[in-house]
Structure 1
Amino acid sequence: MNKVIACIDTFNHTAETVCDFAAWSSQQLQAPLLLLHVLEKSDQPAKSNLSGNIGLGTREHLLDELSQLDEQRAKLLKEQGRVMLKEARKRAAEDGIAEAETLQLHGDLIENITELEQDIRLLVMGREGSQEHSTAQIGSHLESVIRTLHRPMLITVGDFKVPERFMIAYDGSETAKKAIQMVASSPLLQGIPCTLLTVGPDTNNLHEQLKEAAGTLEKAGFSVTPVLRAGDVDKVINQCVAELGIDLLVMGAYGHSRIRQFLVGSTTTKLLQHSRIPVLLLR
């Protein structure tokens, strides 16, 4: 569990942002960077009904041609992936990572990431995949990866910017408390001012929860501003992000209470689709 792994599915602006955040994370964590491209078999080999009046010889000839086309296509896609990884490595070098490792795998993205899970300290993925395809693998598989992986994930969006203030969405659950401990013990966000947000009624209980969580972070050297606001979780989070100039949102991937309701099911996708800043999901 010692590598920052960046998923690259095509080399566009999204991939550049993924590379930049992954390189920054690698330097913050002092962990090696691995650039990963998974060549999925999303398009099945060409098939056709070659029965009927077509002779046996003709059918065999057509099948042979289709097989050759599939083989050529596979070679081209593999080479395209190598070129993308080369560009990603060049980008990482420009960001200060002299020896980024590259890896191209074949098969299902989720299965491959799961097999690498023990080596992952942080997984970095773009919110969207290839701009040329509406069903690009990174975008379409993102929620599945979130639900499957038991490692921290940084989901990037927009342009790269070194975070100058981050916000933790805190609900007092065990998952949220664990997230606080993870932030406190990690060098990833050290030195960056933190806003600690809880959404709910103005009660002594919630103030105590905020105080306890803030104390844990402050003992680890963080500058913390506790904030308690009432309202709908998603609206309050978005308002605070805009009002306070937040550059990075941190939250437990699954907790309890209202923030858990906000993250489960299609609302996870809603959060990621509408967020204008990167989201760090912790487990």
Structure 2
Amino acid sequence: MNKIITCVDGSAYSDAVCRAGIWAAKKLNKSILFLHAIEKKNIAAAEDLSGAIGLGARSSLLKEMASLDEQKSKLALELGKEMLAHAVELANQQGCESIEKAQRHSDITEAICDLESDARLVVIGRSGEGNKPDFKALGSHIEQIIRQVHTPVLIANKGFTEPKSFMLAYDGRETADKAVKRIIDGGLIHNLTCHLVTVKNNQSKLMDKFNHTEKLLLESGFDVKASFLEGNIFSSLMDYKTKNQVDMLVMGAFSHSKLAHAFLGSNTLKMIENTDSPLLILR
């Protein structure tokens, strides 16, 4: 696991994603791989219309559509190359020593999965190309990537800067315990102030687990500020983040299956949709 896969596109988040990927690559001393995926849009290509009533193989409109399809594909390829070149230039300026780039004709999730075997971290923006800067993550590739990719995912905010602190939203579940182990073993957020925050829920022995987690982090060299809260989970976490000016949020991946999420909701998705801070999802 030697590469920081950093996804670049034409969105408003692209430069911030590059900065986040560069920060992670330098912090972990890993190669950075800039990835651009050219996704097939849901439009009718010329070959899809060849059987339509009244449109024969000699139709001039079909030939013109085929020519436009080819031109559009070439333009998308060249635009992607320019974006990758810009990302590489930024990485060079910031002193990255090992820089790679890749371009794929596929869905971004598929492209990440194809490269994941050698990935240490995946860096993406809150919303992709074609979405407005204030686009909510729900319904984008974000959820799909988090559910399918087993590598930690860093969701960059638009104004990403190097974080000095992070908040670990600990809920006592297995996913949270795995996240704690990832934090201790990983190195990405070592030397950052850790705000360990738990909101009271129905997990058994939650206070004992909370105290044990604080002890583990302290023994691992973290500067820990621990808080056990009560109230609505989402609003309590967001209020704490704002009050304490936390730079980054860290959470375990989804606690429920996708079917259960349809009925129970997900605090992870709420955090993604409503926070303007970078969010690190650990599995």
TM-score scaled to structure 2, two decimals? 0.87
Which runs of 5 or more structure 1 residues have no equivalent in the other structure?
none
Matches within 5 A, 1:197-276: 197-200=197-200, 205-255=205-255, 265=265, 268-276=268-276
Q: Distance in 2 between matches of 1:262 and 1:206?
A: 25
Q: Distance in 2 between matches of 1:185 and 1:263?
A: 34
Contact 1:4–1:33 (CA<8 Å) still a contact in 2? yes
1:126 alignment counterpart: 125
Q: Distance in 1 between matches of 2:101 and 2:81?
A: 9
Quick one: structure 1 residues 57 and 32, their matched pair in 2 at CA, closer, same or farther if it must change by over 3 Å? closer
* Larger CA deviation: 93-102 vs 235-244: 93-102
Q: Percent of counterpart pairs with the same letter? A: 35
Matches within 5 A, 1:1-283: 1-10=1-10, 13-44=12-43, 45-46=45-46, 48=49, 51-52=53-54, 58-59=58-59, 61-130=60-129, 140-200=140-200, 205-255=205-255, 265=265, 268-283=268-283
Q: Over residues 117-140 of structure 1, what are the superposed CA-to-partner deviations in whole Å (9 max), with x where a residue is unaligned?
A: 211110000001236668999982
Contact 1:127–1:139 (CA<8 Å) still a contact in 2? no
* Larger CA deviation: 263-272 vs 176-185: 263-272
Contact 1:125–1:153 (CA<8 Å) still a contact in 2? yes
Quick one: structure 1 residues 264 and 118, their matched pair in 2 at CA, closer, same or farther if it must change by over 3 Å? farther
Q: Distance in 1 between matches of 2:246 and 2:137?
A: 29
Which letter maps to 2:179?
A: A
Which runs of 5 or more structure 2 residues have no equivalent in the other structure?
none
Quick one: structure 1 residues 186 and 116, their matched pair in 2 at CA, closer, same or farther if it must change by over 3 Å? same
* Larger CA deviation: 162-171 vs 85-94: 85-94
Q: Distance in 2 between matches of 1:30 and 1:118?
A: 18
Which letter maps to 1:206?
A: L
Contact 2:253–2:268 (CA<8 Å) still a contact in 1? no
Q: Distance in 1 between matches of 2:23 and 2:154?
A: 12
Q: Distance in 2 between matches of 1:57 and 1:281?
A: 51
Quick one: structure 1 residues 151 and 57, their matched pair in 2 at CA, closer, same or farther if it must change by over 3 Å? closer
Q: Distance in 1 between matches of 2:216 and 2:196?
A: 11
Quick one: structure 1 residues 71 and 214, their matched pair in 2 at CA, closer, same or farther if it must change by over 3 Å? same
Contact 1:262–1:268 (CA<8 Å) still a contact in 2? no
